[in-house]
Structure formats: C-alpha cells, structure tokens
Chains A and B, each alone.
Chain A
Amino acid sequence: NAGVTQTPKFRVLKTGQSMTLLCAQDMNHEYMYWYRQDPGMGLRLIHYSVGEGTTAKGEVPDGYNVSRLKKQNFLLGLESAAPSQTSVYFCASRGGWETQYFGPGTRLLVL
C-alpha cells in the first residue's frame, strides 16, 4: 500500500513549455485534489475531483488543466508554463469522511 504517489519529484521547465504531473493513489478514494504551496501562503487548491470522470475548479485554477480518466489517477497539466507557476505541488486523496492523505510533492521551477 503506497498511499499517494507523485511523479516527477522535481522538474525544471522553460517559459512556454508544457508538462503533466501525475498523482496516483491505491486507497480506492473517490476524492482527489491538487494544491500548490508557496512561501508564506500555505497551500491553495488548484482543482479537485469528486469521482472518476469529474473535475472542478478550486481557488487558483488559471493556467492549469486536470483530468481524472481513471479513479486512481489525477493528472495536472500546464499547457504553457510561466515563472509564476514555480511552486511545490501536492496531490491529496480522500474517501468518504476520512482525512485527506497527501503525496510527497513535486517541486517545479519555471525559468
């Protein structure tokens, strides 16, 4: 039982490049979330999903897209990366009324 895993752990992009962050969970959870963490601002919700095939916008969705084609995976895409998207990205999952479980994070640097 690996919990929540994220790929990659670290990535450097140039402005305008695209990439996809992968989140996988093996707990059969319905809910999945993508957050970004910036210094002095805590974590902010980007997008979330309440089940396979569903997605919804969070607090800071601009510049990101997501997909939940399989229940266990939640993908976060950056179509045209900008320096303002330099951050640490965390994925989380939750089942029912349980706690959210977080992945180890992906550190992204956009030059």
Chain B
Amino acid sequence: GNSVTQMEGPVTLSEEAFLTINCTYTATGYPSLFWYVQYPGEGLQLLLKATKADDKGSNKGFEATYRKETTSFHLEKGSVQVSDSAVYFCALTNPIQGAQKLVFGQGTRLTINP
C-alpha cells in the first residue's frame, strides 16, 4: 500500500538556521507528493507540491525535490524565521487509487527560537 514516513520531531532551531525535514514514501506507480503546513490553531495549508520525478516544488523559501530513485521528498529552507514555527506534513496521492486521496506522514513539529 501507500505510506509516508517523516523524521521524528519535535525539531527546534535558532532563527536563520538551515532546515531539513526528511520524508520518504512507499507507493506503486507515480504518486504526486506534497508538503502541508499547519500553524497553531489552524487547518492545513498546501506549502508546495511536485507531480513527477525530478520536479522541484518551492514556496516561501521552502523547497523539496521529488527523488524517485530514493523515494524521498525532503523539505529544506536555507534560513528559517520564527514565523516558520508550525507542524509540517508530508503527503502523497496516488492516481491508481482514484479520488486523489491524501496519505499523510505523522507530522513534524518545528519550533524556531529567536
């Protein structure tokens, strides 16, 4: 079946540090990959996505590259800010299954200290 595994949290960094949150997936065929962000007390928002191998999604300084050979979609940001403190979810959809159902990782809580 389809599954997503994220690095264990919580992650605590200082402002302007480099961020990497690891994400690997298991899926048949050619899934689409997503990163969602959840700010405190809010619903999930799409941060970025990639729909085919070697695609790079980017938004708000965050980037992730779809690596089919390593089945990974790691999230990176060169210089984090306090406002980036949130929970980050890696997810996939698999066209084989239809209905574009999202399969989520367990989430990684990120805290940025000033």
Question: Which residues does chain A contribute within 8 Å of B102, judged by CB atoms?
Answer: 33, 35, 43, 45, 92, 100
Tell whether, in the assembled complex, residue A90 and residue B104 are in contact, meaning their CB atoms are under 8 Å apart.
no
**A99 within 8 Å of B (CB atoms):** yes
Question: Which residues does chain B contribute within 8 Å of A42, judged by CB atoms?
Answer: 4, 89, 104-107
Query: How many contacts A-B (CB < 8 Å)?
Result: 49
Range, interface on chain B:
10 to 19
A104 to B42, alpha carbons, bound, how many Å? Answer: 5
- Given the known interface contacts A90-B44, A99-B46, A102-B43, the answer about A41 and B106 at a Cβ–Cβ threshold of 8 Å is yes
Tell whether, in the assembled complex, residue B100 and residue A100 are in contact, meaning their CB atoms are under 8 Å apart.
yes
**Per-residue CB proximity of A40-71 to B under 8 Å, as 1/0?**
11111100101000001010000000000000
Q: Contact residues of A with B, CB < 8 Å?
A: 4, 31, 33, 35, 40-45, 48, 50, 56, 58, 90, 92, 94, 97, 99-100, 102-105
> From residue 83 to 112 of chain B, which have CB atoms closer than 8 A to chain A?
89, 99-102, 104-107
Which partner residue on chain A sits nearest B90 by CB separation?
A: A42
Which applies to chain A's interface (DSSP): helix, strand, loop or mixed? strand
Which partner residue on chain A sits nearest B95 by CB separation?
A: A97
Which partner residue on chain B sits nearest A98 by CB separation?
A: B100
Question: Min CB distance, B67 to chain A, in Å?
Answer: 21
**B49 within 8 Å of A (CB atoms):** yes
A84 to B94, alpha carbons, bound, how many Å? Answer: 29
Question: Min CB distance, A63 to chain B, in Å?
Answer: 19
**Per-residue CB proximity of B14-43 to A under 8 Å, as 1/0?**
000000000000000000001010000111
